[in-house]
Amino acid sequence: MTTTAETGAALRLHDPNVRGFASDNYSGVHPEVLAALAAANDGHQVSYGEDDYTARLQDLMVEHFGPGIECFPVFNGTGANVLSLQSLLPRWGAVVCASTAHINMDENGAPERIGGVKLLQVPTPDGKLTPELIDREAWGWGDEHRAQPLAVSITQTTELGTCYTPEEVRAIADHVHAKGMKLHMDGARLANAAAHLDVPLRAFTTDAGVDILSFGGTKNGLLFGEVVVALNPEAAHGLVYLRKMNMQLASKMRFMSAQFIALLEGNLWLRSASHANAMAARLRAAVDTIEGVQPTQKTESNGVFAILPAGVADRLRSSFRFYDWDEAANEVRWMCSFDTTEEDVDAFAAAIRRELRDHRDGQAG
């Protein structure tokens, strides 16, 4: 019998017709990104970033974020965040962040345990920090008993799907810079923010006073990879060494860079993010008409947050995968991707409607 290995045929282990709303990481790779990877695959290129693709990526980043910036491709978002924060701080430094921030909730303590960075978390109603909220933890300078709050980290868009305006980012930047602090932005969904705001990427990053950026690609159709962008290189120190120390230096970096070139050279980054946002807006419009669904946040990117009656989410998950956000409150999160279709959204909304109707009928009976 001839095996797959002998024929060289690709082996598919999943059903591509199964769709979900759990995470924009569930989607595959955009075909244009796959084509870019294939094009970069022929021949030899110098390793560890001294390749033509990484040089081109630096030029593209300058086009999008302005002159004087430096970019450092890395493997993943956690690595990008840890690397960014380390470069901003001395050993005794601390970072003020929202309690819902990815660096606080979803990185398994990596900023603190790997990066050696103390996190000072602040509860927020919508995932967004303000100067007033930052000041709850921005104090104690000169006190040797307290980790020194020397940086702030904000997420764009936030973990709750909300979006900072350029004016809000500028207000935070001005506030923290006046205190001698630096500003990091976790931009895992940066493209979704730009699509929602309808402004260039630099409008709420470089031009708004952000010092360093973790620029995400994986959630916007890439196979892997993020980029640390030092928007203010004078504020970030030792990135070239820290990247290697943090095991984020890729030997075949051209494949990271080629993906971002595909994303940024045209408007693929914006097309994909705009589509994901539009599908979330379509889902939000649908569930707003369904009795029993209680949306909890504004839908300003590619996520919808809502509370469902007890038990409904688990029954829905038999057909569509998604995550609980706050299990105690029966709050769930539904995420859309660059490849989410209108049919996906409509089928999911119909399933929600059926489950809630059955739930009401069960209560009445």
Q: Is the dihedral of CA 320, 321, 327, 332 positive or negative?
A: negative
pLDDT (0 to 100) of residue 365: 66
| Contact indicator for 273, 302 with CB cutoff of 8 Å | yes
Residue 363 is predicted with a pLDDT of 82
pTM here is 0.95
Q: How far apart are CA 155 and CA 190, in angstroms?
A: 9
Residue 26: count other Cβ atoms within 10 Å of its Cβ.
16
How far apart are alpha carbons 82 and 167 in whole angstroms? Answer: 26
Main-chain dihedrals φ then ψ at residue 98, nearest 5 degrees: -70, 150
Which domains can be identified in the chain, with CATH numbers? 4-26+268-364 (3.90.1150.10), 31-264 (3.40.640.10)
What's at 14, amino acid-wise? H
Q: List 41's β-bridge partners, or say none.
A: none
pLDDT digits (tens, 9 = 90+) for 166-214: 999 999 999 999 999 999 999 999 999 999 999 999 999 999 999 999 9
Pairwise CA distance, residues 135 & 172, whole Å: 11
* Per-residue model confidence (pLDDT) at position 10: 75
Q: How far apart are CA 124 and CA 73, in angstroms?
A: 31
> How many other CB atoms are found less than 10 A from the CB of residue 235?
17
Percent over 90 (pLDDT), the chain: 94
pLDDT, tens digit, 9 for 90 and up, residues 226-266: 999 999 999 999 999 999 999 999 999 999 999 999 999 99
Please say if the pLDDT value at position 4 is more than 70: no
Q: Cβ of 147: how many Cβ atoms within 10 Å?
A: 18
Q: Which two tokens stand for residue 259?
A: 């993906």
Residue 8 banded pLDDT, cuts 50, 70, 90? low
Write the CA distances from 350 to 69, 251, 355, integer angstroms.
47, 47, 9
User: What's phi and psi for 330, nearest 5 deg?
Assistant: 60, 30
Contacts of 28 (CB under 8 A, 6+ apart): 339
Q: So what's the pLDDT on residue 364?
A: 75
Left, alpha or beta for 339 (phi > 0: left; psi -120 to 50: alpha)?
A: alpha
Q: 14 vs 87, 221, 339, CA distance in Å?
A: 41, 19, 17
Residue spans of alpha helices (H) in the chain: 4-7, 31-39, 52-65, 77-88, 102-105, 110-113, 131-134, 166-178, 190-197, 239-245, 254-264, 268-287, 312-316, 342-364
